[in-house]
Amino acid sequence: MGRFFVQRLGVAVLVAITVSIIGFALLRVSGDLAADLAGEDATPAEIAEIAALYGLDRPLHEQYLTWAADALGGDLGQSLFTNEPVMDLILERVGVTILLSVYSLVLALGIAIPLGVLAAIRANTSIDRAALGVAVFGQAIPNFWFGLILIYLFGVLLRWLPISGSSSFAHFILPTVALGTAVMPALMRLTRTGMLEVLEADFIRTARAKGLRPGAVFFKHALRNAVLPVVSLSAVSLGFLLGGSVIVETVFALNGIGLLAYESILRSDFPVVQSILVFVSLAYIVLTLASDLINARLDPRIRLG
Amino acid sequence: MTSERDTILRVRDLSVDIPVPSGTLHAVRNVDLSAIRGRTLAIVGESGCGKTMTALAVMRLLPGRARLRAREIGLEGTDLRSLSDKAFSAIRGNRMAMIFQDPMTSLNPVYPIGDQLEEIHIRHRGSGRREARERAEYLLARVGIVNPGTRLRQFPHQLSGGLRQRIMIAMALMCDPALIVADEPTTALDVTVQAQVLHLLKDLQAEFDMALILITHDLGIVARIADRIAVMYAGRIVETGSSRQIFAAPTHPYTQGLIDCIPYPGKTERRTALGSIPGIVPSLVGDAPGCMFRNRCAMAEERCRDGGNVERSVEDGHSYRCVHPVERLRGTMVPS
């Protein structure tokens, strides 16, 4: 287990460095940042001045090393728009996004796993087809539109829940449903497929031959084998939620990191965009590492080789 | 003669049908068998003859599509047919247990061996973890595993095939069953390990005073172990008798063919071709009157088309299904 962890950690660090370089470079080649900042009517002299001010005239590797050294020291620069430290901007917003993402994933898994198991146990029955219907619904419906419908139903018509802001748990319910519905189907179908495969395995027949109760056969013996890919997909889904809930954050006016990224891109506030890019990448890396560790915990063949 | 009390399992007129796109596949037809305390019944036949299906039917582990019919399936006086699935699962793994062919895939890869043994005792005996562990450790030692305490903490992928099959055997013994059904328990093992595992089964049978049903395609390993033999072909038992009767006086042409396939070290002449049975097993789909073996049988004639399934008796306890009289069968088929 120790060696496994060190290996994975090493890989994670290498990936983090690579991603930060690529992200940095991509942002620089996406356009002339200095020209964007200077505005439409700027003269070449003004653009050059701005480039010099932000160090954009220096060689790319020098810019990167300076930025990376500062970033490691906790200094992500300042927003060009508000002049606040980028670190503060992100920390202020990240809580909302993390809460929303975690709630959404928990909701999605809470539905996906029992429904997937049930669909597999009752494969090709009306229960299975109903589960498939739910999955297709969740996959097909655009989540911003679903969010609007939720707002209309529960916020406007029924007046049960608040529709915007992030000041209480109740505020998170509707956006959580909107996002959870989007990530649930893939998790459910992966659970179902995995269970169907595992239920055919010889060791399931052994478990039945031992006279174990159906609950023990399905949940203890089958699910733990079927759930490994679901863990990996959950990590990816959480990464997606952390970085990709821009539209739902906008619909529900949740002041999260997605909204910040969206605004910053429109304002060419590249230090903020750069930092969010790195933050989301790091989140993916940490989540992948976590899913590897959970899978190793679940499957001794991974941790013991 | 064995008394009623010693008959652990009695099966009468067991049939298993499986619906397939082209009709109904008759995997098992009208099988009768009984397993006696302390004795071994071997069910012998080639792949697809229905021997595994027979075992799975007794254990109620048939695939979902399969349909079972039987006039009687009685275990220790209980009519298993009348039990609910729930009541049945309380007997399975408890009064009767099964050992499967492939020990590499029959253990759950994600749980330690100990957990997989202990859960049986906990389920059926309501025992605590510690008591179950003691039982598991005792049985691992008993099936010839050194350092049982260490082994219990290991995972299946860390153990060899032979070890895993010993663990499967220990698993079957956890609740001291009256009947063990072993489906090709040595087929997936190295030849050197096969004999050890068979001897172990035989020893344990005596020690635990169990009935053993041994399912195999290898008539060679049966000779030393079985008390009674049932030879299956295309879903039917075509010949049954004591081990001595079957080997001394094989009567059905198929049984004789199987015996000719066994090499005898020291007896079989060098460089002689071993016997083989030409042809392939017929399709089991649809009704098939007459003897199913007739397409591969050297003695087949017109009346095999509709006769041949009637059971005839050679002597007490030895019967066969063939239209030919015993004298003719013996005279023609047995090599000098």
Distance from C-alpha of A32 to C-alpha of A282, rounded to nearest angstrom: 26
Per residue in A137-177, pLDDT (tens digit) is: 999 998 888 989 998 999 888 988 888 877 788 889 999 99
Q: Across residues B199-215, what is the average pLDDT?
A: 93
- What residues have CB less than 8 Å from B59, skipping those under 6 apart? A209, B92, B96, B98, B181
Tell me whether residue A79 is in a domain. no
Residues of A in Cβ contact (< 8 Å) with B94 = 211
Helix H or strand E encompassing B242: strand B236-242
B:4-63 residues touching chain A, CB 8 A cutoff: 59, 61
Average pLDDT, chain A: 89
Shortest Cα–Cα distance, B213 to chain A (Å): 15
Q: Which residues of A touch B102 (CB under 8 A)?
A: 202
Could you give phi then psi for residue B316, rounded to 5 degrees? -55, 125
Closest CA to A248 of A166, A134, A158, A161: A166
CA distances to A121, A149, B31, B57, B87 from A192, rounded to whole Å, are: 9, 29, 38, 28, 28
**Secondary structure of A89-154 in the HEC alphabet?**
HHHHHHHHHHHHHHHHHHHHHHHHHHHHHHHHHCCCCHHHHHHHHHHHHHHHCCHHHHHHHHHHHH
What CATH number has the domain bearing residue A224?
A: 1.10.3720.10
> Does residue A236 sit in the same domain as residue A124?
yes
Residue B103 has which token pair?
A: 């020990």
Query: Which residue on chain B is closest to A198 by alpha carbon?
Result: B108
Mean pLDDT of B82-109: 94
- Interchain CB distance below 8 Å, B92 and A209: yes
Helix (H) or strand (E) holding A197: helix A169-199
Per CB-CB distance under 8 Å, the chain B contacts of A194 are none
User: Is some CB atom of chain A closer than 8 A to the CB atom of B87?
Assistant: no
> Same domain for A68 and A108?
no
Contact across the interface for A209 and B91, Cβ inside 8 Å = no
pLDDT score for B159: 93
Looking at the fold, whether A151 and A202 belong to one and the same domain comes out as yes
What are the angstrom distances between the C-alpha of A48 and each of A26, A28, A34?
Answer: 21, 15, 8
What pLDDT is stored for residue A279 in this prediction? Answer: 86
| Token pair of B43 as six digits | 């069910």
**Inter-chain residue contact A213 with B123, CB threshold 8 Å:** yes
A142 and A191 in a single domain? The answer is yes
- Based on the domain organization, do A65 and A93 belong to the same domain? no
Q: Which residues of B touch A222 (CB under 8 A)?
A: none
**The predicted structure's pLDDT at residue B336:** 37
Judged against a pLDDT cut of 90, whether residue A227 lies above it is answered with: yes
B158 contacts in chain A (CB < 8 Å): 304
The answer on pLDDT for A244 being more than 70 is no
Q: Which of A79-83, A91-95, B168-172, B305-309 has the lowest mean pLDDT?
A: B305-309
Q: Which structure tokens are listed for A158? A: 């029924």
Query: Which domain does A155 fall in, by range?
Result: 86-304
Retrieve residue A304's tokens: 């013991």
Architecture per CATH, B4-84+180-190+209-333: 3-Layer(aba) Sandwich (3.40)
Q: Is the pLDDT assigned to residue B256 strictly greater than 60?
A: yes
pLDDT, position B332? 54
**In degrees, to the nearest 5, what angle opens at C-alpha A107 toward C-alphas A102 and A111?**
145
Is residue A54 in some structural domain?
Answer: yes
How far, in Å, are A116, A165, B48, B56, B217 from residue B51 at the CA level?
35, 68, 8, 9, 9
Residues A131 and A23 in one domain: no
Q: State how far residue A216 is from chain B, nearest Cα, in angstroms.
A: 10
Question: What pLDDT was estimated at residue B182?
Answer: 94
Is residue B89 within 8 Å of residue B119, measured between CB atoms? Answer: no
| Residue B188 pLDDT class (50, 70, 90 cuts) | confident
pLDDT at position A220, please? 94
- Chain B residues in contact with A304 by the CB 8 A cut-off are 155, 157-158
Residues A253 and A128 in one domain: yes
Same domain, A50 and A122: no
pLDDT at A1: 64
Pairing assessment for the beta strands B228-233 and B40-44 based on DSSP bridges: parallel
Residue % of chain B over a pLDDT of 90: 59
Cβ within 8 Å, pair A211-B110: no
In A, minimum Cα distance to B106 occurs at A203
Q: Are residues A231 and A107 in the same domain?
A: yes
CB contact under 8 A, A301 and B109: yes
Which among B89, B139, B153 is the top mutation candidate for probing chain A, defined by the most A β-carbons within 10 Å of its own β-carbon? B89
Q: How confident is the model at residue B16 (pLDDT cuts 50, 70, 90)?
A: very high
Q: Are A230 and A131 part of one and the same domain?
A: yes
- Name chain A contacts of B90, Cβ cutoff 8 Å: 211
In this prediction, residue A3 has a pLDDT band, given cuts at 50, 70 and 90, of confident
Q: Are residues A98 and A230 in the same domain?
A: yes
Say if the Cβ atoms of A205 and B106 lie within 8 Å: yes
Q: Which residues of B291-303 are buried (b: 16+ CB within 10 A; e: fewer)?
A: bbbbebbeebeee
ipTM of the prediction: 0.88
Mutation site, B106, B118, B171, interface A, largest A CB count within 10 A: B106
Cα–Cα dist B91/B79, whole Å: 12
B286: left (phi over 0), alpha (psi -120 to 50) or beta: left
Which range of A58-62, A201-205, B313-317 scores highest in mean pLDDT? It is A201-205
Q: What is the mean pLDDT of residues B242-258?
A: 89
**Average pLDDT value for residue range B252-276:** 77
Q: A47, A72, A97 — which closes off a domain?
A: A72
Q: Which of residues 295-334 of B touch A (CB under 8 A)?
A: none
What would the two tokens of residue A274 be? Answer: 């750069």
Cβ within 8 Å, pair A207-B108:
yes
Q: How confident is the model at residue B9 (pLDDT cuts 50, 70, 90)?
A: very high
Q: How confident is the model at residue B44 (pLDDT cuts 50, 70, 90)?
A: very high
Residue A213 DSSP SS3: coil
Please tell me whether residues A287 and A261 are part of one structural domain: yes
In chain A, how many domains are there?
Answer: 2
Mean pLDDT of chain B: 88
pLDDT value at residue B334: 46
Instruction: Select from A203, A206, A212 the Cβ nearest to the Cβ of B123.
Output: A212
